Structures are given as C-alpha cells and as structure tokens.
C-alpha cells in the first residue's frame, strides 16, 4: 500500500491509499479518480514530505506509510497527526463542532426533555445540544420544537 497526497485541477488537496504506484496510474488514466471535495476528475500527485521516525524508534524498522488496516493510533510525540487539513470539509466540520460546543450547553440524553421544557417556557431559553433517538427527534419536530440534527457524534461516542 502507498499513500499519495493528491491535488485536483481546482487546487483541492486530499490523501488516498493505493495498492501500488501502477494502481494509481491505471485508475487516474482511466478517469476513476475524483477529487474528494469537488468531484473533479483531473487529479495529480502533490508534493509529499517523507515520513521520518525519531531516532529512538529507528531500530523498530524502516520508516514508511502504514496501510490503513494496520494503522497505529497517534502517539503524543506526533501532535496533529490526526488533525484534518485546514482546507478540507473535515476541517470545516471540526470548526463547526467547536463553535456549537462552545456556544451551547450539552444536556446529553436529557435533550428531548429539555428541548420540550424550553419550547413550553418551563426552562430558560438557551442553545442546547444532546442526544435523541430518531423517533424522539421526529416527535419533537411534529410538536413544532425547532431542532436540527448535528453532523457529528458526541465526544464520548466518537472514539
């Protein structure tokens, strides 16, 4: 397996794994590769920096990308390794999540009850977020309670 940093003709950057360099060439030449951001099929390899291990890990083996199935979790000595690139949809989603978590109160599994109480005027009006089952969320919507699903899991459920 080989990891390539890729770029579309519109300048979007993203990464992808390939079985081999020849597999990348075959897929790209046949038009089967598209930009993860905009869907553009004109893809080229971007400039990549090699992965270099710190000296204390050099004895463990040669440096190189690890295939996704065997990827090890990020260690403290590799800060930001799992952070999304600043120009990706994942980075924008992370920014939205931080804003929601900063500007609203997490009420957990009490979300349905608290949303109803706020809507009925039995609790102070404030922005909240939490957890609800699909049937509970539908019931709130049918009752006219203004809610919206969030595109991420609560922190405790996201690994």
Q: Which has more confidence, 5 or 81?
A: 5
How remote is the C-alpha of 6 from its chain's centroid? 18
Same domain flag for 97 and 41: no
Question: For 1-6, what is the mean pLDDT?
Answer: 84
> What average pLDDT does the chain have?
79
Q: What is the pLDDT of residues 94-119, one digit of tens each?
A: 888 889 889 999 999 999 999 999 99
Same domain flag for 94 and 150: yes
d(CA 152, CA 105) in angstroms, rounded, equals 16
From 81, 63, 69, select the one nearest 1 (Cα to Cα): 69
Q: Which has more confidence, 105 or 77?
A: 105
User: What pLDDT does residue 60 have?
Assistant: 54
**Is residue 109 domain-resident?**
yes
Highest mean pLDDT among 23-37, 64-78, 110-124 belongs to 110-124
The CA-atom distances, in angstroms, between 10 and each of 28, 35, 38, 41 are: 16, 9, 8, 10
**Is residue 13 domain-resident?**
yes
Same domain flag for 41 and 94: no
**Is residue 23 domain-resident?**
yes
Number of structural domains in the chain: 2
User: What pLDDT does residue 30 have?
Assistant: 86
Dihedrals φ, ψ of 38, to 5°? -120, -10
The CA-atom distances, in angstroms, between 1 and each of 23, 59, 65, 66 are: 10, 22, 8, 8
H-only helix segments in 13-68: 21-29
Q: Give the residue numbers spanning the domain of 3.
A: 1-47
């Amino acid at each position: 397996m080989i990891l390539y940093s890729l770029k579309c003709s519109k300048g979007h950057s993203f990464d992808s794994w390939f079985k081999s360099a020849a597999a990348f060439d075959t897929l790209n030449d046949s038009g089967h590769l598209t930009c993860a951001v905009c869907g553009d099929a004109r893809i080229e390899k971007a400039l990549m920096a090699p992965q270099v291990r710190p000296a204390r890990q050099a004895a463990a083996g040669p440096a190189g990308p690890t295939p996704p199935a065997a990827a090890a979790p990020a260690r403290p000595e590799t800060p930001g390794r799992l952070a999304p690139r600043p120009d990706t949809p994942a980075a924008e989603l992370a920014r939205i999540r931080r804003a929601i978590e900063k500007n609203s109160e997490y009420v957990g599994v009490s979300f349905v009850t608290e949303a109803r109480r706020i809507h009925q005027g039995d609790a102070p009006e404030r922005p909240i977020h939490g957890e609800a089952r699909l049937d509970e969320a539908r019931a709130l919507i049918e009752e006219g309670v203004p809610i919206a699903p969030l595109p991420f899991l609560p922190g405790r459920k996201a690994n």
